[in-house]
Structure formats: structure tokens, C-alpha cells
């Protein structure tokens, strides 16, 4: 039998067999060893790459799509203090920090939405005095310490309120439309004859 096989062997048969062997071996090698940069996004099956395949720190901020992360993906305890904002939900916000010695000249507490409120600390009085004015005729205003509401509050008018040990609210609407609405919640106090203080928050929107 061996004699028959050897009698049929030829140079062409041997070369063909060797060629097939190297072709198969080369395919197996290529299947295991890929050329550098030879695999692209088209070669990766959808959802094939999982978390465990990603190296730590592999995804940087530049690779995250803008506005794609929500509160569910963010660890709130990792956030620092949110910077102070002048608007909340589209409304203008201002804080009142007023503490002066008796006799200090009048100061503006805030001016928003057409309403301006000043404070003074007269040496001869025992209250801190707030003075509210508007730039628009037909406005509406009310201070919780003052009885009633002025619903025809015109430019040039003054609503004056001497206050001490007071916690209250100023509510205001500009002009006939009553917009924007300005609301100020504040504390006002006169420390004897030495000092005046007003603190609070004003929202206009």
C-alpha cells in the first residue's frame, strides 16, 4: 500500500499539500493575532462591550454626551457647594444684608421689578425705617405691618414703615398688569439707639 502511495506522489502533490498546510496555519494565526488598529467600530457587535471590558478611567468627561447624565447617574454626595445664583427658575433673586450704625446715611436694600426699597437708621429714632417707591403708576403694594393694600401706588409716592423686632413681607406688582411680582421676606430690628439691621430674601419674576 505504501508503495502505491509513493508511486502516486508527485512534486505538484507535495507542493499543493504544503500550500494547504500553510494556508490553514496562517488563518489560525490571523484569527488569534490581529494587526494593530485593524479592528474598528463596525467589527464590534452591538452591546458586546460591557463595564468589565472598560479600564478604570477609560471614559473621560470629553467623551460623555452633553446633557446626557441625569440625577440618577450622579452621586449627590460627590458634589460640592452650588455657586450662588442670581436666578432661580427664571426668577431674579437677591439677598438683603443690612447692618449699620445709628446715623448712617440711607442705603438701598434692593431695586427689582420697578420696586426700590431703602433703609435708614436715624439717630433720633428707635426704629429702622424702610421706604418703598415704584417707577410705574398704578402699581400695587402691601407691607404686612401696614394695614391695607395700596392698589394705586404711583411713581413718586412713598410707603414708609418704621420697624423694630419685625418679621414680615413686602408684596408688589408693577403697573396695571401687576407683573413682575416682587416678594421680599425679611427681618428688621433696631438695637437700642446704636445699630439697625435688615436681612432677608427678595424674589422677582
Q: What is the mean pLDDT of the chain?
A: 83
pLDDT at 52: 78
pLDDT at 109: 97
Residues 69 and 10 in one domain: yes
Residues 74 and 91 in one domain: no
CA 182 from chain center: how many Å?
Answer: 23
Residues 119 and 179 in one domain: yes
Number of helices followed by number of strands (H, E) in the chain = 2, 11
Q: What is the mean pLDDT of residues 61-82?
A: 76
Is 88 or 55 the better-scoring residue by pLDDT? 55
Residues 65 and 115 in one domain: no
Residues 71 and 140 in one domain: no
- Provide the H-helix boundaries in 33-157: none
Residues 173 and 153 in one domain: yes
Is 119 or 82 the better-scoring residue by pLDDT? 119
Residues 57 and 121 in one domain: no
**Lowest model confidence (mean pLDDT) among 15-29, 144-158, 190-204:** 15-29
Residues 189 and 97 in one domain: yes
Residues 94 and 70 in one domain: no
* High-pLDDT (> 70) share of the chain, %: 79
Q: Could you give the number of structural domains in the chain?
A: 2
User: At which of 27, 51, 78 does a domain end?
Assistant: 78
Residues 102 and 8 in one domain: no
How deeply is 41 buried, as exposed, middle or buried, from its count of CB atoms within 10 A (0-12, 13-18, 19+)? exposed
pLDDT at 2 over 70: no
Q: Name the residue range of residue 103's domain.
A: 87-204
User: At which of 78, 102, 124 does a domain end?
Assistant: 78
Residues 56 and 120 in one domain: no
Instruction: Identify the band that residue 76 occupies on the pLDDT scale cut at 50, 70 and 90.
Output: confident
Sign of CA dihedral 86, 92, 93, 96: positive
* High-pLDDT (> 90) share of the chain, %: 50
User: At which of 28, 46, 78 does a domain end?
Assistant: 78
Residues 102 and 140 in one domain: yes
pLDDT at 3: 52
Amino acid at each position: 500500500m505504501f508503495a502505491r502511495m509513493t508511486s502516486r506522489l508527485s512534486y505538484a502533490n507535495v507542493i499543493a499539500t504544503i500550500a494547504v498546510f500553510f494556508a490553514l496555519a496562517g488563518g489560525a494565526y490571523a484569527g488569534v493575532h490581529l494587526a494593530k488598529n485593524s479592528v474598528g467600530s463596525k467589527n464590534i457587535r452591538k452591546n458586546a462591550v460591557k463595564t468589565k471590558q472598560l479600564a478604570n478611567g477609560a471614559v473621560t468627561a470629553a467623551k460623555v454626551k452633553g446633557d446626557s447624565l441625569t440625577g440618577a447617574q450622579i452621586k449627590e454626595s460627590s458634589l460640592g457647594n452650588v455657586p450662588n445664583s442670581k436666578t432661580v427658575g427664571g426668577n431674579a433673586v437677591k439677598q438683603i444684608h443690612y447692618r449699620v450704625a445709628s446715623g448712617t446715611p440711607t442705603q438701598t436694600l434692593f431695586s427689582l421689578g420697578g420696586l426700590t426699597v431703602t433703609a435708614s437708621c436715624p439717630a433720633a429714632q428707635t426704629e429702622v425705617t424702610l421706604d418703598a417707591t415704584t417707577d410705574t403708576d398704578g402699581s400695587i403694594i402691601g407691607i404686612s405691618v401696614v394695614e391695607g393694600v395700596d392698589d394705586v401706588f404711583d411713581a413718586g409716592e412713598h410707603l414708609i414703615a418704621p420697624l423694630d423686632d419685625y418679621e414680615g413681607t413686602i408684596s408688589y406688582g408693577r403697573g396695571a398688569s401687576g407683573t413682575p411680582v416682587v416678594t421680599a421676606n425679611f427681618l428688621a430690628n433696631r438695637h437700642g439707639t446704636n445699630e439697625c439691621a435688615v436681612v432677608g430674601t427678595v424674589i422677582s419674576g
